[in-house]
Amino acid sequence: MVTSALSLVLWMALLFQDRPSRAPDVFYVPTPPAVVEAMLKMANVSSSDVVYDLGCGDGRIPIAAAQKYGARGIGIDIDPARIAEAKENAKAAGVTDKVTFLEQDLFTSDFSNATVVTLYLLPSLNQKLMPKLKAELKPGTRIVSHAFDMGPEWPPEQKQEVEGKTIYYWTIK
């Protein structure tokens, strides 16, 4: 009886091992390469930057920051399948020495050492995240969001259209 209960527990653990600790807040939609490039350019990324991508999906933004600019990149995503994919993509790109991917909830993660933060979240999530960004990031930290702003309480300093997509830029004061 104990062995069959243990077998069931092990089977359930295997079945659910690649599921997030809670449901992701958004569906994963990859950022087009031209938008990734424009976001990094808008943020003026350099080799001295630490770029955090909140809701990193397949890791394309931290990987591009490392490849093109020599920046360190950290991707945070709640979905273990996305984190596994991001790690494989970093390996294939040859940047595992420059990028790290963390399976975490971005609302409880520590990203206070970021110099650049990138986002592709829904407006409601950006607004929910805004107080954390303002409270925990150092002055001068640049934030770039694909598609969605932070609402009327925090208008962007810059806005740009890239292949029909909008990107927004803020600086922590």
Give the CB-side neighbour count of residue 107, counting CA atoms within 13 A: 10
pTM summary value: 0.86
Give mean pLDDT, residues 109-133: 97
Q: Return the H-helix or E-strand segment holding 100.
A: strand 99-103
pLDDT tens digits for range 15-57? 344 444 567 667 789 999 999 999 999 999 999 999 999 999 9
Domains (ranges, CATH) in the chain?
Answer: 20-171 (3.40.50.150)
State residue 71's pLDDT score: 98
Q: Are 36 and 60 in contact (CB under 8 A)?
A: yes
pLDDT tens digits for range 65-102? 999 999 999 999 999 999 999 999 999 999 999 999 99
